[in-house]
Structure 1
Amino acid sequence: MKIFSLLLLLFIGSLSFTQEESFDEMVKSYYKNTVPLIYPNQLYKKMLSGEKIYILDAREGKEYEVSSIQNAIHVGFLGFNTRKVSDFDKNKTVIVYCTIGARSETIGEKLQKDGFKDVYNLYGGLIYWKNQGYKVYHQKDESSFVHVYSKKWGKWLTVGKPVY
């Protein structure tokens, strides 16, 4: 019985989370849950539907220049001010993203405070978007490169080529 118990403990101890479960834990540790989440498949369906939505990229310029979601509008993070979106219809859906969703959640909070009614944070950011098989673009051309902000976050990119 002791050998069985020991083997069982060794087996259980050797189990590890899958890459996606670990990514989920990491992402959730950064979220404050102040902005509703939208998942890549949900955003993609909205994009295909033709619904008028605003997709905002809350990364810095050097990150945005590497690649972005098609038709995303760069608003940045450090210098973000709601005046950048003052001509947007506040009743339309706004989806904000960054690398993993932490900075975009902060931008989403600012948009909510400014009166935007339907604001979402893209779960897992551009890393998760790309890992789920969705395309990113450099200007108008499809790209395999994703600016991953740092090596700490870059390890989570499983599809595509990281840029630091």
Structure 2
Amino acid sequence: MFPFARSLVFKLLKILITYTKPDVQWLTTKELAHWLENTAETQPIILDARTEAEYAVSHLKNARRIDARAPDLAALKKVSHDVPIVVYCSVGYRSAGIAQQLQQLGFNRVYNLEGSIFQWANEGRPIFKYNCPTQFVHPYNAIWEKLLKSRIF
């Protein structure tokens, strides 16, 4: 897929997700990268809302996996509602659902990562398989893989 077409699809996806989940706050990949580099700031909890198989291929550093279909939010009950949380998936749809649920539980600094791991990886930002850097991302399926640069799936 041509870069301009990929960019357009990501913009359309954000419009669709915002329409269905209007209260979800967004964070760009650039903003998250800057935040993670600034260790003087309180670092966010990063939640990966993809399947185990997707997570096993790669994930953002220090990300915790959460099941988007049946999220176990009990583990977050001990977390202050002021702690920042960033949620991502492949393109942002599943993570928006988790972000919305967290907001409904009273968390007030929850962000959906714009473009999610696909955009993050397309920009050449670091991804990991366990603690080792990798360049590969699970493509989710044959349709969505078109949003990934061909060298990373």
TM-score (norm 2): 0.88
Deviation track 1:18-52 (CA, whole Å, cap 9, x = no partner) reads 43123322443344333111000100111111222
Q: List runs of 5+ in structure 1 lacking aligned partners.
A: 1-16
Look up the equivalent residue of 2:15 and give its one-letter code: K
Deviation of 1:53 after TM superposition, in Å, equals 1.1
User: Is 2:98 the counterpart of 1:98?
Assistant: no
On the 8 A contact 1:146/1:160 being kept in 2, the answer is no
Change (3 A) 1:71 1:160: farther
Whether the 8 Å CA contact 1:56–1:94 is kept in 2: the answer is yes
Q: Deviations over 1:131-153 (max 9, x none)?
A: 12211100011111101211111
Please list every run of at least 4 consecutive aligned residues from structure 1 whose deviation after the TM superposition is greater than 6 angstroms. none
**Contact 2:17 2:96 (C-alpha < 8 Å) held by counterparts:** no
Over the residues paired in the alignment, what is the CA RMSD in angstroms? 1.6
Show the 5 A alignment for 1:4-15: none
User: Secondary structure, in 3 states, of the residue corresponding to 1:120?
Assistant: strand
Query: Retained in 2: the 8 A contact 1:131–1:159?
Result: no
> Counterpart of 2:8?
21
Aligned to 2:126: 135
Greater alpha carbon shift after TM alignment, 25-34 vs 121-130: 25-34
Tell me, what secondary structure is at the counterpart of 1:55? strand
1:125 is matched with which residue? 116
- How far does residue 79 in structure 1 lie from its aligned partner after superposition? 1.8
Tell which has more relative contact order, 1 or 2 (C-alpha 8 A, sep 6+): 2
Cα distance in structure 1, aligned partners of 2:139 and 2:115: 12
Q: Of 49, 57, 60, which residue of structure 1 is paired with 2:51? A: 60
- Report how far residue 161 of structure 1 moved: 2.2
Report what 1:12 is aligned to: none
User: Which of 43, 66, 74 pairs up with 1:83?
Assistant: 74
- Identical amino acids, percent of aligned pairs: 28
Q: Which residue type is aligned with residue 48 of structure 2?
A: D
Choose which of 13, 22, 31 in structure 2 pairs with 1:42: 31
Q: CA deviation at 1:160?
A: 4.0
8 Å contact kept, 2:59–2:128? yes
How far, CA to CA, are the matches of 2:92 and 2:77 in structure 1? Answer: 23
1:78 positional shift = 1.4
